[in-house]
Amino acid sequence: MRNVFFYVLLLFGLSAYSQIGDVISSRRIASERTTVRTTSSTIDLKKTIQRLAFQITKNSPTEAKKAEAIFYWIASNIEYDTALRLDRTLQQEIYTSEEKIIQNVLKRKKALCGGYAFLFQALCQEVGIKAEVIHGYSKKYVRTSKNRKVDHTWNAVKIDGRWQLLDITMARSQSRTGFPDLFWFGTPPLDFIKSHYPLAIKWALVSRPISFEEFNQTTTPP
């Protein structure tokens, strides 16, 4: 598992309308770029993830069922971490590596969008499924302005040779039944891009994606 990663970390900010990133500056990242060392905590975390992945997927015979089981388990068992969203100091303490983020999620049984996404990716990897963590903009939080701050994180997962999109945070927050909203697992890309705009546009998974300006100007149902 990578101890240092070189893309934007996403955390909820104090604004009611947006999220904030860049908790870790590029200078700090560069200063911490060292040879990855295998520690006892790293080994313990990997074993924990392996056991959890097996437990979640042991009755799931296909890639699709395994991925859905992981999605559903996380959305059902990991609460949204409001305390972390409001505590800038705690954010800076936790958001230093993927390993620390996942450790925090499993310890607290709570996560922000990045925590959900990194845990999903880690569990999928343990059962041989490719998953990516996608950073970008969410219609739920984005503000129309010249300041393009990345404000959300979600996943793509490769099932039977085809990439699909999912958002565990939305599956929890948009649910009206008390259960995870499965609309946000394998959501059709043309629907997904109405509310999610990836920083790397290839992860829109559509042949002709709209521009960011068009994304900002369109509205989605509440």
Q: Name the CATH topology of 11-217.
A: C8orf32 fold (3.10.620)
pLDDT digits (tens, 9 = 90+) for 168-201: 999 999 888 889 999 999 999 999 999 999 999 9
pTM of the model: 0.83
What gap in Å lies between CA 191 and CA 212, rounded to an integer? 15
Question: Around 79, how many Cα atoms within 13 Å sit in the side-chain half-sphere?
Answer: 9
* pLDDT band at 63; cut points 50, 70, 90: very high
pLDDT digits (tens, 9 = 90+) for 116-156: 999 999 999 999 999 999 999 998 654 544 556 889 999 99
Within the chain, strands assigned E span: 11-12, 19-20, 79-80, 110-111, 131-138, 152-159, 162-166, 185-187, 196-198
Tokens, residue 139: 């219609």
What gap in Å lies between CA 3 and CA 25, rounded to an integer? 16
What gap in Å lies between CA 43 and CA 38, rounded to an integer? 7
3-class DSSP state of 111: strand
What are φ and ψ of residue 110, in 5° steps?
-145, 155
Q: What are the boundaries of each domain within the chain?
A: 11-217
pLDDT digits (tens, 9 = 90+) for 31-46: 333 344 557 778 899 9
